[in-house]
Amino acid sequence: MTESTDAPDPDNCDPENSEPDNSDPEFELVSEPVRTPEDIAGAVEALLMLTEEPLPAATMAAALEVPVDTVHQALQQLRDFYDDTNRGFELRHLGGGWRYYTRVEHADVISAYVLSGQQSRLSQAALETLSVIAYRQPISRARVSAVRGVNVDGVVRTLLARDLIAESGADGESGAMLFVTTDHFLERMGLDSLDDLPPLAPRLPEVAEMEEELAGLADSDPAEAAPDSPHSPDSPDSPDSPDSPDSPPDLDPQQG
């Protein structure tokens, strides 16, 4: 007798119509575990150690391939941990990103060790010009000069060289170059945005008011200030004037 078997003939199997046996461990789909804020905390610290400017959370999320919310949670946990353990540095959100900073209470030690009394400071003129630009931006060089009442060309070049201000295109009406503050300015001032600037409007004259006053002086009739006649006794060109080249020289009584 020939025993029958239910085993399929391998020669008659159609590989296209055959279905995989899902019970086989080889066919089990392996899903990647969800990364928690605790899982990425070390990687976030490593990224923050490398950056030389405030690093946005979205940039870190893209590098770590995790949601931005996960990065935000990790940053908050790290900041709380540094505060609770009284570390010498802290994690701040300034200038649109995150970065490590030394704590304020250690400023004297840092200044003595790193700066050695050679800290570069802005002059009073530079600080005043920077304040005008910060509160009136975007603003042209001429308008800054109108507010301060002096020429600011040299000061503006200094602020540009220190990356505290930047050019922001030309004015649509006058074509003058406009200036704005930079992210580096926010970082140096310890601000998160320009909205954090303290109110200074009562102390700073309105540019529009000064421009109207200057325009009024420029449009005034020059004839009002000029003499009625070019030969008026008060005119320097009058022969009777002592400053006129046609007037006779003063005689020395001792030479008469």
Of the listed ranges 2-16, 181-195, 221-235, the least confidently predicted one is: 221-235
Q: Give residue 122's pLDDT.
A: 84
Round the average pLDDT of the chain to a whole number and report it: 76
DSSP conformational letter for 164: S
pLDDT at residue 93 greater than cutoff 90:
yes
* CA angle, residues 55, 58, 63, in degrees to nearest 5: 85
Cα separation, 238 vs 145, in Å, equals 38
Give domain limits for the chain.
Answer: 37-106, 124-216
Are 94 and 56 within 8 A, CB to CB?
no
pLDDT band at 205 (very low <50, low <70, confident <90, very high): low
88-102, 168-182, 227-241: the lowest-pLDDT one: 227-241
Give the pLDDT confidence of 34-61 residue by residue, as tens digits: 899 999 999 999 999 988 889 999 999 9
Beta strands 165-170; 177-181: pairing state: antiparallel
What pLDDT does residue 242 have? 43
Task: Tell me, yes or no, if the pTM score tops 0.75.
Answer: no
Give the H/E segment covering residue 255.
Answer: none
37-106 CATH: 1.10.10.10
Q: What is the pLDDT of residue 33?
A: 80
Asked whether the domain spanning 124-216 has the same topology as the one spanning 37-106, the reply is yes
Q: What pLDDT score was predicted for residue 233?
A: 45
Cis previous bond, 138, omega within 30: yes
Q: How confident is the model at residue 255 (pLDDT cuts 50, 70, 90)?
A: very low
CB atoms within 10 A of CB 186: 21
Confidence of residue 10 (pLDDT cuts 50, 70, 90): low
Rounded percentage of the chain residues whose pLDDT exceeds 90: 40
Structure tokens at 194: 């320009």
Largest Cα–Cα distance in the chain?
167
Q: Which range, of 18-22, 62-66, 74-78, 162-166, averages the lowest pLDDT? A: 18-22
CATH topology of domain 124-216: Arc Repressor Mutant, subunit A (1.10.10)
